[in-house]
Structure 1
Amino acid sequence: MTYQPPQYPPAQPVQGVPGQVQWGAPPPAPKKKRWPWIVAGVLLAGVLGCVGLFTLVLGGTAKVVGDAAGEMDANRKGENAVAGKVGTAATDGKFQFTVTKLKCGVDRVGPAEFGEKAQGEFCLLDVTVKNVGASAEVFSDMSQYAYDAAGGEYQVDSGAGTWANKDHSTFLESLNPGNTVKGKLVFDVPEGTKLTSVVLHESMYTAGIRVPLAG
């Protein structure tokens, strides 16, 4: 048998080093790993998508809240109210209102030893409230506002109202369907103020009824 020497690949010059060689082919350059960049891109896209969705939802929520607040403000001012008349019943939501009398120039309500004294003068508005709905509802005097000729707005003085009404709780009890209560809404206004209208509501979410007054 004839001896066969091992076969080696031809020598390759070493790049950049004159006169130096290396045996065999140079090892291939390592491939760059691209998966971390792909993962980072997917994560970034997800984050940006979430931010965009959050911004959209937040903006939509802010608009809804702003619209609701604007609507309630318009309701309070009577901008959406229907016209009413003293002595005539008119309905807002579950309640039917009848304004019967207005008396101003009252300096005190309740007994002398207790009661409450007006900062200016009290205007007492006699109102009948009937529940014309199908379920019980509480009438709140805090949703009722009076106005003068210049557009001045006056909220009910609930503390004085407890003294002006004999049972002290006329407008705080739950009113069942078909039931009626009568009581006085009390407004503390500057002396000499002439109230020209009152806006009555079932609640702050209803349009209300504007009743002209001959105060």
Structure 2
Amino acid sequence: MTHPQNPQAGQAYPGQPQAGQAPYPGQPYAQQPQYGVPGPYGAPPAYQAPIQPPKKKKKWPWIVGILVALIVIIAAVAGGGDDSSDKTASSGSSNSGEQADSGGDNGDKKADEQAAGLNTPVRDGKFEFVVTNVESGLSSVGDNEFLTAEAQGQFVVVTMTVNNTSKEPKDFSPTNQKLVDTEGRSFEPDTTAQIYLGGSDIPVWDNINPGNTVEVKVVYDMPVDAKPASIELHDSMFSGGVKVNLG
């Protein structure tokens, strides 16, 4: 068996082109195969946020706006009605007030005409009063020269009897009795002058037993030119009072 002999140095293997000759068609160069260099790794795809569903438009701002507009319209309409009603009410009240004032004036005049006078019994609460005397123009009052009260203007002394018509003792105080002059001014009693005056069963305060009658002198300090017109007598400081004319 014949083995192929290796070519001598510089000779090509059988079937291969000699040095300097072009390779046979369809046959690659007698060189080591060229392997492709792998390219760089591709960058990972960029992160994309998930697509959000489209937001629904809120309807409540429109609803609120409509409600506000309705409220404004209603307020405007109501305000106009209130103005007219207020004007009507004010005109009506002014007319009624004028009528009431005129009626009140007439009522006061009638009350003055119907008020009792001196020595006429009148009642307020559980007490019956009879005004018996009025003395004015006093510069001082007192039992003696050492116990004397001097008037700022003039002292006016109103003498009255008081009877307890109830079935139990009742407190009485002269300080609850008010004197009114011809100018409509009201005067309160002078307690110190009443104490110095004397001659009064109750100078300041005391109980009156059921059925008893006491005599009381109430002293008022008034201007010199003042003239007492009436006295308002009270069962207590909270009672309605009864009027007695002094003129």
- Fold-level similarity (TM above 0.5): yes
Structure with larger Rg: 2
Identify, as 1 or 2, the structure richer in strand.
1
**Among 213, 220, 229, the residue aligned to 1:180:** 213
Higher relative contact order (CA 8 A, sep 6+): 1
Matched, 1:95 2:92: no
* Aligned CA distance change for structure 1 residues 169 and 129 (closer, same or farther; 3 Å): closer
Q: Is the 8 A contact 2:201 2:216 kept in 1?
A: no
Matched, 1:118 2:146: no
Matched, 1:157 2:190: yes
Q: Is the 8 A contact 2:140 2:151 kept in 1?
A: yes
**Among 136, 146, 166, the residue aligned to 1:104:** 136
**Among 197, 202, 224, the residue aligned to 1:191:** 224
* Aligned CA distance change for structure 1 residues 125 and 167 (closer, same or farther; 3 Å): closer
Q: Is the 8 A contact 2:174 2:203 kept in 1?
A: no
The equivalent of 1:147 in structure 2 is 180
Q: Which amino acid aligns with 2:174?
A: D
Alpha-carbon distance in structure 2 between the residues aligned to 1:167 and 1:211: 20
Q: Is the 8 A contact 2:118 2:246 kept in 1?
A: yes
Q: Which amino acid aligns with 1:201?
A: H
What do the CA deviations read for 1:24-49 (whole angstroms, capped 9, x no partner)? xxxxxxxxxxxxxxxxxxxxxxxxxx
SS of the residue 2:147 aligns to: coil
Q: Which amino acid aligns with 1:130?
A: N
Alpha-carbon distance in structure 2 between the residues aligned to 1:108 and 1:138: 28
The equivalent of 1:32 in structure 2 is none
Aligned length in residues: 140
Alpha-carbon distance in structure 1 between the residues aligned to 2:174 and 2:200: 15
* Aligned CA distance change for structure 1 residues 168 and 128 (closer, same or farther; 3 Å): closer
Alpha-carbon distance in structure 2 between the residues aligned to 1:178 and 1:206: 20
* Aligned CA distance change for structure 1 residues 107 and 212 (closer, same or farther; 3 Å): same
Cα RMSD (Å): 2.5
Matched, 1:138 2:171: yes
Q: Is the 8 A contact 1:198 1:213 kept in 2?
A: yes
Q: Is the 8 A contact 1:171 1:183 kept in 2?
A: no
Q: Which amino acid aligns with 1:146?
A: L
Structure 2 residues without counterparts, runs of 5 or longer? 1-107
Deviation at 1:171, TM superposition (A): 4.6
SS of the residue 2:131 aligns to: strand
Q: Which amino acid aligns with 1:93?
A: G
SS of the residue 1:115 aligns to: strand
For residues 1-215 of structure 1, the aligned pairs below 5 Å read: 83-110=115-142, 111-166=144-199, 169-214=202-247
Alpha-carbon distance in structure 2 between the residues aligned to 1:101 and 1:168: 16
Q: Is the 8 A contact 1:100 1:126 kept in 2?
A: yes
Deviation at 1:166, TM superposition (A): 2.5
Q: Which amino acid aligns with 1:156?
A: P
Q: Tell me the percent identity.
A: 33
Alpha-carbon distance in structure 1 between the residues aligned to 2:145 and 2:180: 29
* Aligned CA distance change for structure 1 residues 167 and 155 (closer, same or farther; 3 Å): closer
Alpha-carbon distance in structure 2 between the residues aligned to 1:84 and 1:167: 23
Q: Which amino acid aligns with 2:199?
A: K
